[in-house]
Structure 1
Amino acid sequence: METVDIERATAVTKAITSAEDAILLSNSNKIVLRLMPGDVLARVAFDGEHGFPQELELARRLLESGSPVVAPTDLSVHERDGFAITLWRYYEPLQEIPPAEYAAALQRLHVGMREIDVPAPHFMDRVREAEAILSDRAVSPDAPEADRELLLATLAERGQAISTSGAREQLLHGEPHPGNLLSTKDGPLFIDLETYCRGPVEFDLAHAPDEIAEHYPGIDRQVLDDCRLLMLAMVTAWRWDRNDQLPNGRQRAEEWIAQIRSAA
């Protein structure tokens, strides 16, 4: 969000929750606020640009199964003045999560997700979204042509390889990177379920640090390698979207394209 939108969203959130103060924790297409006093975290999006009801329902069902996810403080989507807000329990950051604990938490989440039958996009739908950004030069006007071609080729080739690998597919978190796994007194807990999708568990593992896969049993190493390169191409494509607001996004895109070129 732009600065003016952050200010408006923060004011709306404070008014809805009666919070005395709100600290901005992150900003992209949504913002995350810590509300003070109390242990409440608010996720705020523009009205009509979120999947909050589905995310809340998934969180509810995962909590019922004992899966390691952060609990919402209520199951409502609060809407006012063009913004939608969900409220979650806030945890003070603790120590770094060891790789074995990270992998065990992700495996527990996957077990819980296998018990849930909900409509979910396929991971290839996200690949197609990335391809659409690169294929439309009006959407990604600043992408260097050589990088554009390499990214499109990587998305097509790796997506095809994963889809035809025969790997078992299931419901996934979608982006279980370290920023979405909290170290808490209740153990590691995942947050930000809006990216849930269906695909092989290797797709989730591709978003985690490389060493996590060493502690996750039954991984297909070739599928994991393909997923890692696919994921890198996807997040690089999103950085070239003219509306992307990730801090230092273009610098990261240049770093990631170098990694993809090296792998290719």
Structure 2
Amino acid sequence: MRPGLRPLIAGNWKMFHGGGTGLALAIDCTQIAQRVPHVDLVIAPPYTVLAACSHECEGKRVALAAQNIHSKDKGAFTGEVSGPMLVESGCTWAIIGHSERRQLFGETDASVAEKTAAALQFGLLPIVCVGETLAEREAGETLAVVGRQVRAFLDIILAGAGTDKAVAIAYEPVWAIGTGKNAGPAEAEEVHAAIRKWLTEKSAELAKRTRILYGGSVKPDNAKALLAEPNVDGALIGGASLDATSFGAIAEAAETLAR
């Protein structure tokens, strides 16, 4: 974690907690926020409970993210949700290109770039996800794959983020999502350092402002070691974000490093 930087801890609830349990978890997260004044907390509930969570989180240091976004602002796109709708529901962030979206729903580098541009256009900060499969890692292609994915949207965030918007990139190795496996701190740092290098080649200011998160089976017992790496600026958390105790423990690990 870089000195003086506020870490970003984001919880992706995926297709869980879409009703009353989601509202209760959001309230728990506002209580976590009181214990971690040096950490930025973001939660990404399902669409069905976004507006209710926004009401509970307003003014309580918990920001809302969408789990996905359509590239258009409106139209005949059944089942999709646009940027303006997400803003009206209280979102300030949008997760884009999550490995599950790429693997299960066919999202490509091009569609991720389009959605990143849309998020910035509609006033949402993107958390753009990148990461390699197990086969790609075993073939020694990790940096080539992640580099291709990052370069697909680098110019877009450089142009769209202006001089003051702090976007985020999440490195989430596909083989670590929901498997209980995770990249070790040194493995994560290698990729995060490469991403920082690519950002710096475009803009030193962009590299300074962009927080690079690690995602992939982050848990209370490994969070501190991962977050202690120089270029790990936070975490995008899946399963552990569904439980307030686990999510709070990860946020508190970030807090101890950020003080």
State the TM-score, normalized to the length of structure 1: 0.28
State the TM-score, normalized to the length of structure 2: 0.28
Work out which structure has the larger RCO, using CA pairs closer than 8 Å and 6 or more positions apart in sequence: 2
